[in-house]
Structure 1
Amino acid sequence: MSLDHGVLNVPLRKRGCIDSQLDAYKAQQAKLGAVARKARSAEIKARRAELAALRIKAKAAVASVGRDFLVRAAERNGTTPARIKAILKEEANLRPAIALRMLEAAE
């Protein structure tokens, strides 16, 4: 904000109350902040709902995995079918999108 020298030459009592102007500015900023927080909150709730739906879908997909898939994956990775199933269950809970991609790629 630049200084307007025409305003600087006006006596203080005629320039207006700086305190009321600051209070109005702070109130405006608080309103804008509240609106932004509300929008972020709605976005977070939508992401949580989407994640919950993906988790349900991924857990169902892991539960329906066949034994032959587990055996093939275990041989390919040098581990046991039970360990593969445990990894898939963990991924379905933590990162359901990745678990679904892993199961789709295997089909």
Structure 2
Amino acid sequence: MTDRRHIGSRLENWARLHTQHRGVQQEERRAFDQVDAKLLERMMPDLPTIQRSLLWWCYVKQETPEGTCLLLGIANKPAVQFVAAFRLAQTTIEALAAGQNH
């Protein structure tokens, strides 16, 4: 579970790149890591479109899982389909970013 929280935190940080530019001010307990956010941003075009869109809608737009599924044509019942797609997107961007760190 620690790994999921780690990439989740990194993606929340990445989303701040986009919300800052729109003037959205959210109170954050963690410091903004611009270097890591830009690393993930550079990797986004390498993701399959559905995965990139899923991360965008979930992290940047903060859409609900049901809304994200509706927007992207992902079955949301049973919920395990959304969860599997979401985790795959997280794992894929994490692997791409890890490859850039070496």
TM-score scaled to structure 2, two decimals?
Answer: 0.27
Higher relative contact order (CA 8 A, sep 6+): 2
Larger Rg: 1
The structure with the greater share of residues assigned to helix is 1
TM-score scaled to structure 1, two decimals?
Answer: 0.26
